[in-house]
Amino acid sequence: MKKKRPGWVIAVFVILSFFGFGSSAAESKTYWHFTIKAFVDLPDTNGVEWAWITMVEYDAAKAYPAEAGVAAEYGGELKGTVFAFVRGAAWRSAHRYFRDATCSGRPSKNETFWESSESDSVFAMGQLISSRPFRGLPGTVPPEPDSFRFGFEKRRVLRPDGTWFEPESQANVFTGAINVEGRPREETRGDFYFQVVNYPDNLEHHRRCGKAWAEQYVSVFRSFHIVDSIPAFGGYVFGQKSLHPGSRIRFVYHAERTVSPVHPNWRLEIM
């Protein structure tokens, strides 16, 4: 004969189950998925760079324990949220353009071009910020931010596990001009250095007045930094940015805030 469980036992089980699910939901992570398209040579819309970045929200006090300790010594608290870098990728289209020039006093053309290339060597940082007046210790952030800051970064970057790393400390191979028989001989000019986006084919080719050379291609994403409103949870923001009036460079971006770690547009040329 089976014994019936008292009603209060069932009630307690239901209550504990409820709090158990609530605790699990509270511990869920919040991810940000960024898709950025850069037009690099307007009004020609064929020359573009795309980038896909996933970040995850991380408690500022855990990201900066030393600073949090100082705040605690003075009776304060380091509050706020920063972005930890999960992964990034970029793609550059092949492009060619001409500019007016003068060679030996005669009208001529400068030719500049590069080939398509894609990269997983992409780095970024960001944080939630507030536009409200706030009185507190320098460097502290209010617990209720109104907007977010995001940009590409090659200095210290935060990982999802709370550790930091220096992207510039990673091994990176730079390739100079490679001369092929039957083509104009190129020389390599200028310095090559680590960037926020590092393409395997990192060359920008130039032709002028009978001379040919290659320099390092510099990604336009080095200039991409935005501050925008935080979207509703599960929502997104969409925006545009130019470097200055009349600039040939224009950015279009999409930022989605969600519990899913999967980037919805990963390596897709869509917004």
Q: Which residues contact 143 (CB under 8 A, 6 or more apart)?
A: 79, 80
Beta bridge partners of 44: 41
pLDDT score for 144: 53
Helix (H) or strand (E) holding 90: strand 81-92
pTM, whole model, 2 decimals?
Answer: 0.81
Residue 157 lies in a domain: yes
Residue 70 lies in a domain: yes
Task: Please identify every stretch of the chain with a pLDDT value under 70, giving residue numbers as ranges.
Answer: 1-27, 130-145, 171-184
pLDDT score for 150: 97
- Pull the structure tokens for residue 58: 């991380």
pLDDT score for 8: 39
- Report the 10 Å Cβ neighbour count for 197: 27
Distance CA 125, CA 153 (A): 6
pLDDT in tens, 185-241: 788 898 889 999 999 999 999 999 989 999 999 999 999 999 999 888 888 999 999
pLDDT score for 15: 31
Residue 9 lies in a domain: no
- Report which of 198, 203, 197, 207 is spatially closest to residue 215, judged by C-alpha positions: 203
Structural domains counted in the chain: 1
Residue 35 lies in a domain: yes
Residue 105 lies in a domain: yes
Task: Give me the domain span that covers residue 80.
Answer: 30-258
pLDDT score for 148: 94
Distance CA 56, CA 30 (A): 6
Distance CA 53, CA 49 (A): 13
Residue 7 lies in a domain: no
pLDDT score for 75: 85
CA dist list (Å): 195 to 15, 61, 187, 218, 270: 53, 29, 22, 8, 25
Residue 15 lies in a domain: no
pLDDT score for 271: 83
CA dist list (Å): 9 to 1, 12, 17, 201, 235: 19, 5, 12, 67, 41
Residue 137 lies in a domain: yes
